[in-house]
A and B are shown apart, each in its own frame.
Chain A
Amino acid sequence: MKTETAVMERFVQIIQNNEELSNPLHNRLQVYRDMVQYRFVETIENIYPILSSQLGPKMMHDLIREFISIGAKNPLIVKMAEEFGDFLRHHAKLKSILYLEDLLWFEYGELELLSRSFKDAQTRFDWNKQYKLSSSSLVRNVSYRVHSSEFDSLCTSSLLLYYHFDEERVYFEEITFFAQQLIDMLEKMTLEHSVIELAQIYELDVEILRESVEKLVTKWCNQRVLIKFTEV
């Protein structure tokens, strides 16, 4: 298999790299090169449409070509986009793009939620319950409001991505740090205790706080953003 392996290595090297193909026989190598490139471009541009438009087609295609030459590792093509994200995160040419990390999370997060199957049961509002973020939701602090196409000004906010079960698509919502803190707290204590603690931290009236938290948590329960917390 030594010769066969060498032939296959050379073949892959040619289609992964951009060396000029002058021999007319090489047109067929170009066919393979085009097919491989098309497969990567189609997948990556579908998953990262905003990033593709921000970088422009030339830069995006150059980056994809470079990524192809390094090689994706996961046999499942849907996971290749995640590897491409890591490749971009460490790319020297993109160090100056400060919103990159937030945008990669935002765009890949949508795919992640669309690819999942959910078994979490919907839960009801209850002051005595503990809750946790469902597998159909993601929350993260972002430094750039990439969801509003604001790429230039630093503006930290908290972003919730969630799967909408009736519409079968992913929505995003900017939430307050207070709301994010509430989500974190609900894994450790009941809703009742969380409200009391938050009222103390922010020096707020518990009764007023109860009213807004009830609305928020009811909405999140209905959206299946929050589910019943159960200890593992």
Chain B
Amino acid sequence: MGMKNIKGCGLGLRREFLAEFSALKKKPDWIEITPENWIFIPHRYAEHFDEIMGSMPVVAHGVSLSIGSPEKIDKSFLREIKTFLDRYNIQHYSEHLSFSTLGGMQTYELLPLPMTKAMVMHIGDKIKQVEDFLQRPLILENASYYLAPYSEMAEVDFLNEIVEYADITLLLDVNNVYVNATNHGFDADAYIKQISPSRVAYMHMAGHLEYPNEALLLDTHGEAISKKVWNLLERTLKKIDRPVMIERDNNIPPLKELMEEYKKLSKIVAKRGTK
């Protein structure tokens, strides 16, 4: 299932380089924005933001939906998201397979879910509610996790079962596959092999960090993409021919540096023939 208007390579748009981005002659093919960061648009960014949003294909990638929480969907939050998506006519909305809220209390982090059959159904039913409310399909991302509390199935099976049950598409985060495979001792390529290409909407690439004093990779989005993750992407692209983007949220470098990474991504994707 392809995404209308979203083709080739994308970049996560951040406030830190908004004006510079606006002035770029050769922009990325598309951008991804985090709606929670733009619901209140500061005056100094408003003009550039509106100009960019009106001139490029956009995907909204949320962080606060908390799809796995046991409680009902927060309708007032969803209303804010819908208003935002409608205002900019954004059709593509993705979120994380995780939870961040419990009993109405926020942690502002993506927390790991018990990977069980009951959770598959719970999330599947909530996805329907979200889609009905937003009047748009929900794309779900495989999140990174450092613990798998009370899990009765492998992550990839959990992901596939949700995708099938809710009939949705995936945002396949290649860095998260690598990070999770390293942290939990599974084969990243075998994981990718089990993902149905037709169920992938688009893909993420990001950097990670080695956690000091422990054999643990942290999905920080604050570093350049590692060679091993680039290699995994190349192998993934042989199987999954979908748009890919770079997601950088922390230690944001000058746009020039990010665009170098973007060029590298474009070359890899072009080699595969997806552009």
A: residues with CB less than 8 A from B are 1, 3-5, 7-9, 11-12, 15-16, 27-29, 31-32, 35-36, 39-40, 68, 70-78, 80, 114-118, 136, 163, 165, 168
Q: In the complex, what residues of B have CB within 8 A of residue A28's CB?
A: 146-147, 216
Instruction: Check: B109 CB closer than 8 A to any chain A CB.
Output: yes
- B105:A117 contact, CB within 8 angstroms: no
Across the interface, name the chain B residue whose C-beta is closest to A3. Answer: B150
The contact string, 1 if C-beta is below 8 Å from chain A, for chain B 23-40, is: 000000000000010011
Main secondary structure of the interface of A (DSSP, over half): helix
Across the interface, name the chain A residue whose C-beta is closest to B66. Answer: A75
- B147:A16 contact, CB within 8 angstroms: no
Q: Which of A68, A70, A75, A168 contacts B64 (CB 8 A)?
A: A75
Which of B96-104, B131-139, B189-197, B227-235 contacts the other chain? B96-104
Instruction: Check: B149 CB closer than 8 A to any chain A CB.
Output: yes
- A40:B70 contact, CB within 8 angstroms: no
Chain A nearest CB from B137 CB (Å) reads 21
Across the interface, name the chain A residue whose C-beta is closest to B74. Answer: A75
- B36:A75 contact, CB within 8 angstroms: yes
Chain B nearest CB from A169 CB (Å) reads 9
Chain A nearest CB from B61 CB (Å) reads 15
Chain A nearest CB from B20 CB (Å) reads 15
Q: In the complex, what residues of B have CB within 8 A of residue A1's CB?
A: 70, 118-119, 122
Q: Ordered nearest first, which 8 A-B pairs have the shortest CB separation?
A: A71-B105, A75-B64, A168-B44, A7-B150, A5-B70, A4-B114, A28-B146, A72-B106
Across the interface, name the chain A residue whose C-beta is closest to B116. Answer: A4
Q: Which of A3, A11, A115 contacts B42 (CB 8 A)?
A: A115
- B122:A32 contact, CB within 8 angstroms: no
Q: In the complex, what residues of B have CB within 8 A of residue A35's CB?
A: 109
Chain B: interface size category: 35 or more
Query: A76 CA to B40 CA in the complex, in Å?
Result: 10
Query: A75 CA to B71 CA in the complex, in Å?
Result: 14
Query: A100 CA to B168 CA in the complex, in Å?
Result: 49
Most buried by B among A28, A39, A136, A165: A28
Query: A39 CA to B44 CA in the complex, in Å?
Result: 24
Instruction: Check: B214 CB closer than 8 A to any chain A CB.
Output: yes
- A168:B43 contact, CB within 8 angstroms: yes
Instruction: Check: B153 CB closer than 8 A to any chain A CB.
Output: no
- A75:B101 contact, CB within 8 angstroms: yes
Given A4-B116, A39-B107, A71-B105; 13 other pairs, CB 8 A cutoff: A3-B114, A5-B70, A8-B70, A8-B99, A8-B149, A11-B112, A35-B109, A75-B74, A77-B108, A114-B44, A116-B42, A117-B42, A165-B43
Instruction: Check: B237 CB closer than 8 A to any chain A CB.
Output: no
Instruction: Check: B200 CB closer than 8 A to any chain A CB.
Output: no
Q: In the complex, what residues of A have CB within 8 A of residue B102's CB?
A: 8-9, 12
Q: List 6 A-B contacts (CB under 8 A).
A: A11-B112, A11-B147, A12-B107, A71-B104, A73-B104, A117-B41
- B216:A4 contact, CB within 8 angstroms: no
Q: In the complex, what residues of B have CB within 8 A of residue A73's CB?
A: 104-106
Across the interface, name the chain B residue whose C-beta is closest to A113. Answer: B43
Q: In the complex, what residues of B have CB within 8 A of residue A15's CB?
A: 107, 111
Q: Which of B106, B109, B116 contacts A80 (CB 8 A)?
A: B106
Q: Which of B40, B104, B107 contacts A116 (CB 8 A)?
A: B40
- A115:B40 contact, CB within 8 angstroms: yes
- A117:B40 contact, CB within 8 angstroms: yes
Chain B nearest CB from A227 CB (Å) reads 14
- B44:A36 contact, CB within 8 angstroms: no
Check A12/B105 contact, CB under 8 A, given A75-B74, A76-B64: yes
Across the interface, name the chain B residue whose C-beta is closest to A10. Answer: B149
